[in-house]
A and B are shown apart, each in its own frame.
Chain A
Amino acid sequence: MLGVVNKSIQSFLCNHHGSSVWREVVERIGIAPEGFEAMLDYEDRQTEVLLGAAETVLDISREALLEDIGAWLAMTESLRRLLRFGGADYLEFLFSLDDLQGRAMMALPGLELPELSLNGETQGRFTLVVSGWMPGWGAVMAGILRAMADDYGALVLIEASELQSRPGVGEERVSVCLLDMDHAEGRRFDLAGPAHEGSLSTERVTV
């Protein structure tokens, strides 16, 4: 798997929980404190080991960890901006999730995001079907959806259900209930970022 996944987990641990947490995780799994390179490939097993160590050190469930990672990722400026290209309001953003995998593939062909498909049900209720070969993307998506709701200023109820516990082809479902699109003032988003737009590198890990 492309290192950007492991690197994101690393950045989350370092920047959200602090470098001491990262050091503890590093010691547990026996890798160098510099961690992962976003653009290099790593074995899938590494991701599993990394998540396992983070769970233990932080003493939280896998699901909560992944949801936190999703929310944190969506709040990093570079990724927030890329997600905001999905649409002018939260509803459009939800609809744009169908294209998220394609967009990610266009930007970074090696990044294997799960297939996402949004099913509309009754008024304001949606189910996001997440089909990936690695379990856990559902929880990550739930975190992303939650953070983006804050970003757009929408009021939503999000529930990750039917999460997979084992690898393999399967679907995870995230239910989204959109209560109020204009609940609060969203964060500002200009289509064109500042000329010297920061990248993932602005969230550089300091160890």
Chain B
Amino acid sequence: MTHLDRDLPGGGAPAALTLSPDILGQFMPLFLWLDKRGRIRAMGPTLTKILGTEAIGTAYARHFVLRRARGHAPEGDPIGKARRIAVNLLRHPGFNLRGTAIEIVTGGGGGEDGTDTLVNLSFGIHLSEAVRFFGLTETDFAASDLAIEFLFMSEAKAAVLNELQALTRRLEDARRAAQNEALSDALTGLANRRAFDAALDRALKVLGRGGRRFALLHLDLDFFKQVNDTLGHAAGDAVLVQAAKVLSDETRRGDLVARVGGDEFMMILRGPINAERVEGFAKRLISRLEEPILHESELCRVSASIGAVIVGEKAGHDAVGLLAAADAALYASKHAGRGRCTVSEA
């Protein structure tokens, strides 16, 4: 019999409570009763399930590793010294249990009177793993134990988290899709490559049905890389935004300006088109783009090279061929020393 004996604060008769290990086990399925030599005298049913009945009578240290113990003794009560302890299972070191160990006076049992220890243990945060590993059920926990609530919560939380992660994934996919389908360049607000390709296809279709000639211009900023490298990306971005503004200012409503790469722009010019007009337009653009741009007290200087193709009124133009022609003209301008325009006819 385990014997709990305390003096009442009121100074009345000492109240004694005698509990059998069976009753104790119903309250505390993970209790452990050790004699003064540290041998297991009795334990709760759930602990028995884990250690096996053969553990009775064996030394506590054959089953547990004490990791920590912190004592606090109630004042004037030398016996009821309680310690908070943390232990590992020797055979399953992954499971940390924690609990309270308290010294008690026992009335016999094997003829040995003395100070025994009563320990009540609990699975900490590893509860789910322990339940799975040892095959525990509802009845292995005291009704007052919050273990089931803990298991419920961790499972409910996992379900909610899963649902949220799935939602985040779907939103991310939708965001990417929207970005892919977008027709404008986020930095400059100009049309992007996708919008430009569509516009060029449309222009060629209109031309094929008897539409007017148009000019295709490929513009590449000169010295942009130097600005980016020496003054930083923010300065580079400022240059791109300013360049976009210049191109928008100089073109007319029916024209199209697109940013198709880092510092590359494409334009479709409509209206009365001939080589001189295009050249004049290009020179005006280049001189405006050569105006220094002030960014955070630094002056950024760039120029531009342009390759232009005048797409005449004849059948059989294809977008790939025209783009290659514009690219070749641009290359010629770069090769000739930058800040120039080359015009070809197709």
Contacts and interface: CB of A to CB of B under 8 A. Distances in A.
B167 interface: yes
Contacts of B162: 199-201
A118 interface: no
Interface string A62-103: 000000000000000010011001011000100000000001
Contacts, number: 72
A85 B152 contact: yes
B131 A191 contact: yes
A92 B137 CA distance: 14
A103 B152 contact: yes
A59 to B, nearest CB: 31
Interface string A188-207: 00111101010111001000
A57 interface: no
B139 interface: yes
Contact of B156 (A40, A106, A191): A106
Contacts of A4: 163
A39 interface: yes
Contacts of A199: 158-163
A26 interface: no
Given A107-B160, A190-B132, A197-B158, A88 B166 contact: no
A179 interface: no
A166 B136 CA distance: 46
Interface centre among A87, A107, A192, A193 (most CB of B within 10 A): A192
A107 B153 contact: yes
A81 B167 contact: no
B77 interface: no
A191 B148 contact: yes
Contacts of A107: 152-153, 156-157, 159-160
B129 interface: yes
A88 B138 contact: yes
A81 B155 contact: yes
B163 A106 contact: no
A38 interface: yes
B40 to A, nearest CB: 26
A108 interface: yes
Nearest to A87: B138
B129 A82 contact: no
A193 B155 contact: yes
Given A39-B163, A78-B159, A107-B153, A192 B137 contact: no
B151 A191 contact: yes
Contacts of B161: 199
B139 A201 contact: no
A190 B131 CA distance: 9
Interface string A51-65: 000000000000000
B159 A39 contact: no
A200 to B, nearest CB: 5
A39 B161 CA distance: 10
A106 B149 CA distance: 10
B121 to A, nearest CB: 18
A82 B152 contact: yes
What are the nearest 5 A-B pairs in CB distance? A199-B162, A107-B156, A192-B132, A199-B159, A85-B152
Given A107-B153, A191-B138, 7 more contacts: A82-B159, A107-B159, A191-B137, A192-B128, A199-B161, A199-B162, A200-B163
16 contacts: A40-B167, A81-B155, A82-B159, A92-B138, A103-B152, A106-B153, A107-B152, A190-B135, A191-B138, A191-B151, A197-B158, A199-B159, A199-B161, A199-B162, A200-B162, A204-B166
